[in-house]
Chain A
């Protein structure tokens, strides 16, 4: 009973491996590189011909003239080679302390701002690479960024809204602001 199954086992494994493990990924790669070269390669963003990041991967910003992204649990922050979430449970003492510290840091950078801090700005993303913040988190930072750059709040808001993506078909997902794109835009913004 067993012996006559040995040849089919070996041959079918070999053939299915070639089909699903070699031909399939190679064909998908070929088609993707032809149809969607930029996306398949990582949606890179170039400035002056040099790659400065990916539209899909966040970067750490902590200077006042830039829009800040979410806290990142990777080491160092926004490490695109080793993604990770914090995995803190909701009651972990270190977690609650890190959230409180983050609130303090945000308040210290903009002492006049008395609004409540939007939650996504003080909690680490699942990937540690989240390129987005919510609109609430972006608007919260407008006064600080505007002051640090000597720009009007309106100019900063325009940069934010230009790089905001709504829900898919107005229903699916959540609206997002791409932090890196806003900051690249701000670096070129005039008074």
Chain B
């Protein structure tokens, strides 16, 4: 047992829970505020929006889709024409159509899967006006769908579930923007770059030669306006890095402190939204219950990942290598990990980033030990409901709660209710869609890829691990996560299109059914609590809910995991 590993994990979780309450309270205030503030009023006037006029769920969904499709089209165009546009000091060319499509969908859907390398592909303008903007508004769109769903529980016999434009503007201006600004400045103080200057060229202290024997005497250091983008990519569960290796890059994540804050930012809003949920449904225990169910899944998986990576690579045994942890080194499986993060901060990040649908990385998941890499994969396959994306994670978890009360209702033979609303056929159908669509996309996508030449051509690691790369890619895209087993060459027509479609379908075909549930619930009466009502805040229900999530995930994905990381582990342990 490595005590420091334990302490660092504990500190992280403690900081998270401590922040959840104040931020949750603040967010509830933002969304429940009756009158519009000065700045937002100006925006509404310019947009021609009456902030006091509510929308039914169909109008709300239509507004969300229009806004998202426009965003995707703009990001696509910015990439296609970046060679003609300003703020491109490195004179980068236009991005290919398939890569532009993939990236536009990726950032619009809050996935931030990256088939490209940031510093070698995207101009500063594309990064700012395309990607950073989507980082904000795609996160906001996740939050607004959640808020609409919560209103569905709160309202009685109503048609309206809120005003999309008001929710969107408030999420962006009052929640995401101030948090990002504060985080960005602290990150710069640690060494994250924020400049519009082109790359630096420095002369090396010791000249070397490249693989062809040519002398190398200079080093080019890519820089750029990174901090502003990194702050929101962490807070908004986006995850799209400024540089190719994301937060493993020392200019994105230079110190243990920057790492701690970036990691905290991954789960900060998703955890706080649980508390906000409790406040808004006027029963804080309901919020704590969902957070507890998430923790119940998170903590054991986290510790498995830490321990697996800390044990190191048994294949190193005959080579005379010291992998043990000591006061002088972190030890463990250090391939693809940075010294300043060691094992615990790499695995803590990997677990948090896949629990949330963030997908940023500070180590290379492809080089994890088989069971270490299984954890992030499983986290995504659980449907991104253990914290999950900002908003989207919690509305996914609420869909699971609906399934859980339904299953419990079947057991005792009562009509299921959740938070005073009867759960009937239409809600159950929608909740099932929310849970089944990503599962189908992952399995179909992986199966289609491993039997087609286009899908297998760019696998980097041969054999079992190559299968894991493809399974990971679809688990990531179809759950809007965005992290990767990055060996897989995904910047080609096959994967750009296949993964682009997976991201698009799984984002909107989940968000729209969620809004449909919101609309259906809002129309219902509140059923009074009786002695026969199933309480949904007790340890029993928390355990039951976590079990439903795990059982659905395990039943669906155990066979695929057995073909990938589990077999690989057995080969390694042989």
Bound state CA distance, A126 and B485, in angstroms?
12
Check if A155 is an interface residue, CB within 8 A of chain B: no
Residues 293-345 (chain B) with a chain A CB within 8 angstroms: 312-313, 315-316, 319-323, 326-342, 345
- A172-B181 CB under 8 A given contacts A21-B129, A83-B244, A123-B334: no
Q: How large is the interface on B (under 10, 10 to 19, 20 to 34, 35 or more residues)?
A: 35 or more
Check if B415 is an interface residue, CB within 8 A of chain A: no
**B152-170: contact bitstring with A at CB < 8 Å (1 yes, 0 no)?**
0000000000000100110
Closest to A82 in B: B120
Residues 60-90 (chain A) with a chain B CB within 8 angstroms: 60-63, 66, 70, 75-90
Bound state CA distance, A6 and B47, in angstroms?
10
Residues B195 and A42 in contact, CB atoms below 8 Å apart: yes
Residues A132 and B338 in contact, CB atoms below 8 Å apart: yes
Residues A91 and B571 in contact, CB atoms below 8 Å apart: yes
Residues B336 and A85 in contact, CB atoms below 8 Å apart: yes
Residues 367-384 (chain B) with a chain A CB within 8 angstroms: 367-370
A-contacting 9-mer, from B62-70, B93-101, B386-394, B503-511:
B62-70
Residues 101-137 (chain A) with a chain B CB within 8 angstroms: 103, 115-120, 122-137
CB distance from B115 to the nearest CB of A (A): 14
CB distance from A143 to the nearest CB of B (A): 16
Q: How large is the interface on A (under 10, 10 to 19, 20 to 34, 35 or more residues)?
A: 35 or more
B-chain residues with CB within 8 Å of residue A61 when the two chains form the complex: 205-206
Residues A126 and B336 in contact, CB atoms below 8 Å apart: yes
Bound state CA distance, A20 and B221, in angstroms?
26
A-contacting 9-mer, from B16-24, B247-255, B435-443, B547-555:
B247-255
Check if B487 is an interface residue, CB within 8 A of chain A: yes
Bound state CA distance, A125 and B493, in angstroms?
29
Total A-B Cβ pairs within 8 A: 393
A-chain residues with CB within 8 Å of residue B245 when the two chains form the complex: 83-85, 126-129
Bound state CA distance, A69 and B309, in angstroms?
22
Q: Which of the residues A12, A47, A54, A66 comes within 8 Å of B47, measured between beta carbons? A: A12
22 CB contacts below 8 A, A to B, read A7-B47, A7-B48, A16-B172, A22-B128, A28-B194, A41-B195, A42-B193, A57-B250, A59-B205, A81-B119, A87-B485, A89-B468, A91-B572, A99-B316, A117-B320, A119-B333, A122-B319, A123-B333, A123-B336, A139-B328, A172-B345, A173-B257
Contact residues of B with A, CB < 8 Å?
4, 7-8, 11, 43, 46-49, 58-59, 62-63, 66-67, 70-71, 74, 117, 119-120, 128-130, 132-133, 135-137, 165, 168-169, 172-173, 177, 180-181, 184-185, 188-197, 199-200, 202-206, 208-211, 216, 219-223, 225, 227-229, 231-232, 243-245, 248-251, 254-257, 259-260, 312-313, 315-316, 319-323, 326-342, 345-346, 361-364, 366-370, 460-462, 465, 468, 485-487, 568, 571-572
